[in-house]
Amino acid sequence: MNGFLRVRGGVSVARTGVEVGKTRTRWPVPTYSRVVPGASGRVLVVDDNKVIRQLIRVNLELEGIEVVTAGDGVECLDVVHQVQPDLVTLDVVMPRLDGLRTAARLRADPRTRDLPLVVISACTQYEVEAGLEVGVDAFLAKPFDPAELVSVVRELMERGEGVGLERGLGTVLGAGEGVGAGKGVGPGGAGSGAE
């Protein structure tokens, strides 16, 4: 799918032309964490594809955002209370515990119910509808534009500092309605391929 979906200030994508398949994840996956001096926030990136985790991590770190990574939903739930992120990004299709069930569990936990959640996946109609049902805040379709990734992360982190977010409400926009070429890692975009 070439395009983007936007939910309450969401996200756009740009196709890179480079197809990157899923890498086989070996369990347990070591959680990545690096303290960024003067970081403007902390994001927990959850994706079973190591390449996608690295693309998201590098682009957010370039913008001064601290990043911790997890290889699937089980690992996310294991570390989220220790990490105390300002926002979580979730792939949908992952082994052990998928992104939508992970989002539902995060919403059910009083300690994480107000945590902004961004799905970064194929963003099929089912994923968007199910994501809105469980309270996902924004959707970013793969492949994604790094500038839009940073934009939606910053916007949701700033909103999260306020009174609270309305969950699962907003407009889902179709393909071709966003920013074109991005900055960051890759020739105009990042992420790709099969979920």
Q: How many CA atoms lie within 13 A of 93 on its CB side?
A: 11
The per-residue pLDDT for 164 is 39
**189 and 14 in contact (C-beta within 8 Å)?**
yes
CA distance 180 to 195: 22
In sign, the C-alpha dihedral spanning 145, 149, 151, 156 is: positive
Q: Who's near 86: CB < 8 A, 6+ residues apart?
A: 41, 42, 43, 115, 116, 157, 160
Helix, strand, or coil (residue 88):
strand
Work out the burial of residue 148: count CB atoms within 10 Å of its CB; fewer than 13 is exposed, 13-18 middle, 19 or more buried. buried
Query: What digits encode the pLDDT tens for the residues 14-46?
Result: 333 333 333 344 444 455 555 555 568 999 999
Cα 57–121–110 angle (5° rounding)? 75
Tens of pLDDT, residue by residue over 98-144, are 999 999 999 999 999 999 999 999 999 999 999 999 999 999 999 99
C-alpha dist (Å) from residue 158 to 53, 99, 188: 22, 23, 26
Domains with residue ranges and CATH for the chain: 42-158 (3.40.50.2300)
DSSP H or E stretch at residue 139: strand 138-141
Q: How far is CA 96 from CA 50, 73, 102, 141, in A?
A: 16, 7, 10, 22
Amino acid at 128: V
pTM above 0.85, yes or no: no
33-91 pLDDT, tens digit per residue, is 555 555 689 999 999 999 999 999 999 999 999 999 999 999 999 999 999 999 999 99
Of residues 22, 13, 1, the one with CA closest to residue 118: 13
